[in-house]
């Protein structure tokens, strides 16, 4: 049977207990400035990691935390591999960051999931952010006399579902500009503008892209860009 304890020279040789059932294991030791890095690496199973272009958003949100060294998502295994310093950041904060961008963790239970899904499927198309087709794009975006914000999204993207209501609220209070949504699954225009991750918001002025926002953009930044 393998040893479940990793020696920690900073504690006089005593072991640091690891929970292998939750995917924890010590990262390879690196000597820097005379100290040994005993960071922990954890493989976190993610529910519904169905969108490859969403993974960079998830990785960025987790790596923003102080104490997180790396975060790498794997679309094939549906795992997020995180290396972090347990003295600086707790696992609970990492889990909260994952949930903040719309994902769920496989080993956790979430109450009320089915009621939220029913509400999601009952939602009607937004009047403030209508869906746009490739054929409509030139007339409503490139040849528009108004500033236009286009949200590129996907129905399988958890982060998009978190951001879309915020984008809709911005559209409802912003007079003098047009707001649209384009599904990258059923359209092709996103290829013309190098949209490599979603959600992405492009602001168009006189038919040209003036601003680009990725990950979970701040609505005040989009509002400032579209009114400038």
Q: What is the pLDDT of residue 23?
A: 54
Length of the chain: 228
Phi-psi region of 76 (alpha: psi -120 to 50; beta: other; left: phi over 0): alpha
Q: What is the pLDDT of residue 24?
A: 56
Could you tell me the CA-to-CA distances from 119 to 48, 107, 112, 123 in Å, in that order? Answer: 18, 24, 11, 6
Domain boundary among the residues 64, 80, 109 is at 109
Domain boundary among the residues 50, 74, 109 is at 109
- The yes-or-no verdict on residue 118 having pLDDT over 50 is no
| 78 and 132 part of one domain | no
What percent of the chain has a predicted confidence (pLDDT) above 90? 44
Q: Tens of pLDDT along 168-214?
A: 999 998 768 999 999 998 999 999 999 988 889 999 999 999 999 98
Residue 34 lies in a domain: yes
Residue 36 lies in a domain: yes
Residue 116 lies in a domain: no
| 221 and 163 part of one domain | yes
Q: Are 132 and 150 in contact (CB under 8 A)?
A: yes
Residue 1 lies in a domain: no
| 129 and 222 part of one domain | yes
Residue 146 lies in a domain: yes
What are the φ/ψ torsions at residue 178 (nearest 5 degrees)?
A: -110, 145
Q: What is the pLDDT of residue 69?
A: 96
Alpha-carbon distance 137 to 135, whole Å?
A: 6
Residue 96 lies in a domain: yes
ω into 199 cis (within 30 of 0): yes
| 161 and 223 part of one domain | yes
| 37 and 105 part of one domain | yes
Q: Tens of pLDDT along 95-110?
A: 999 988 888 898 888 7
- The yes-or-no verdict on residue 121 having pLDDT over 70 is no
Q: What is the pLDDT of residue 28?
A: 52
Q: Tens of pLDDT along 150-162?
A: 999 988 788 888 8
Residue 131 lies in a domain: yes
| 33 and 86 part of one domain | yes
Q: Tens of pLDDT along 59-76?
A: 988 999 999 999 999 888
Domain boundary among the residues 109, 132, 155 is at 109
Domain count for the chain, please give it. 2
| 213 and 153 part of one domain | yes
| 140 and 221 part of one domain | yes
| 60 and 142 part of one domain | no
Q: What is the pLDDT of residue 47?
A: 82
DSSP state of 12: T
Coil, strand, or helix at residue 40? strand
| 131 and 205 part of one domain | yes
Could you tell me the CA-to-CA distances from 181 to 16, 117, 129, 201 in Å, in that order? Answer: 49, 21, 6, 9
| 154 and 104 part of one domain | no
The CATH number of the domain holding residue 139 is: 3.40.30.10
Residue 11 lies in a domain: no
Question: Does residue 116 or residue 180 have the better pLDDT?
Answer: 180
pLDDT band at 11 (very low <50, low <70, confident <90, very high): very low
Q: What is the pLDDT of residue 174?
A: 77
Considering the chain, what is the average pLDDT of its residues?
Answer: 80
> What pTM does this model have?
0.58
**Around Cβ 221, how many Cβ atoms within 10 Å?**
13
- The yes-or-no verdict on residue 126 having pLDDT over 80 is no
Alpha-carbon distance 137 to 151, whole Å?
A: 12
70: containing domain? 17-109
Alpha-helical runs (H) found in 49-181: 55-63, 91-100, 113-122, 137, 158-173
pLDDT band at 134 (very low <50, low <70, confident <90, very high): very high
């Amino acid at each position: 049977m393998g040893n479940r304890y990793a020696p920690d020279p900073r504690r006089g040789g005593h072991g640091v207990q690891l929970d292998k059932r939750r995917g924890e294991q010590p990262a390879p030791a690196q000597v820097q400035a005379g100290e040994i890095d005993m960071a922990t690496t954890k493989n976190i199973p993610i529910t519904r990691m169905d969108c490859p272009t969403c993974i960079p958003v998830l990785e960025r949100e987790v790596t923003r935390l102080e104490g997180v060294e790396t975060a790498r998502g794997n679309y094939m295994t549906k795992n997020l591999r995180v290396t972090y310093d347990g003295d600086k950041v707790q696992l609970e904060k990492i889990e909260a960051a994952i949930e903040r961008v719309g994902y769920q963790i496989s080993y956790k239970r979430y109450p009320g999931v089915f009621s939220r899904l029913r509400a999601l499927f009952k939602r009607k198309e937004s009047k403030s952010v209508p869906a746009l087709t490739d054929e409509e794009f030139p007339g409503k975006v490139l040849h528009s006399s108004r500033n236009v914000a286009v949200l590129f999204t996907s129905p399988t993207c958890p982060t998009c579902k978190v951001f879309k209501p915020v984008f809709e609220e911005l559209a409802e209070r912003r007079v003098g500009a047009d707001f649209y949504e384009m599904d990258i699954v059923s359209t092709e225009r996103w290829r013309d503008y190098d949209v490599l991750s979603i959600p992405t918001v492009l602001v168009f002025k006189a038919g040209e892209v003036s601003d680009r926002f990725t990950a979970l953009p701040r609505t005040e930044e989009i509002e400032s860009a579209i009114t400038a």
